[in-house]
Amino acid sequence: MERIAIGQIRSPHGVRGHLKARSYSGETAHFLKLKSIYLASGGRERCFEVTEARRFGEDVLLKLAGIETPEEGKRYSSWEIYAQREDASSLQAGEFYFADLCRCAVTKDGRTLGRITAVVEGGASELLEVETEEGGRRLVPFLDRFVGAVDIAKGTVELKEEWLLK
């Protein structure tokens, strides 16, 4: 089964090993149903059973089996949270998982101009990191005025303005 990143551990909370987590999508309902998660950072990965999850303002408090103190929890600050795709937040029309975008070719008028290698959080919008056919890397704002049709099934993202990759 495929795992996708759904959030990040922010910090320990309280004295019993709870962890404050931030959802990448802003949605938190799917966190409350999780039975297990994977935490990953710097090539390291650990699987945890989720024994408790509850909303905490805009964040979620997670209690993971085996983490009993704030000191143990602090080890996982800034680690990414991964879940099975079916356990992640449901997508609405026009929403995409970053992992799916990173599998797409960037096209213009049917020609492949490059491939999306990453999605970077930007101030006004997310930025698509595109490796061009020539081997360079460019950042493209993921905004309607620059990006046209996104077809995850076909693995393509249509670019409206080719100059963005020059």
The yes-or-no verdict on residue 104 having pLDDT over 90 is yes
Query: 109-139: per-residue pLDDT in tens?
Result: 999 999 999 988 878 888 999 999 988 999 9
CATH class of 98-165: mainly beta
CATH 2.30.30.240 residue ranges for the chain: 98-165
Q: Which CATH superfamily is domain 3-86 in?
A: RimM (2.40.30.60)
- Looking at the chain, the whole-number percentage of residues with pLDDT higher than 70 is 99
Kindly tell me if the per-residue pLDDT of 58 is higher than 60: yes
pLDDT at 1: 55
Neighbours of 34 (CB within 10 A): 19
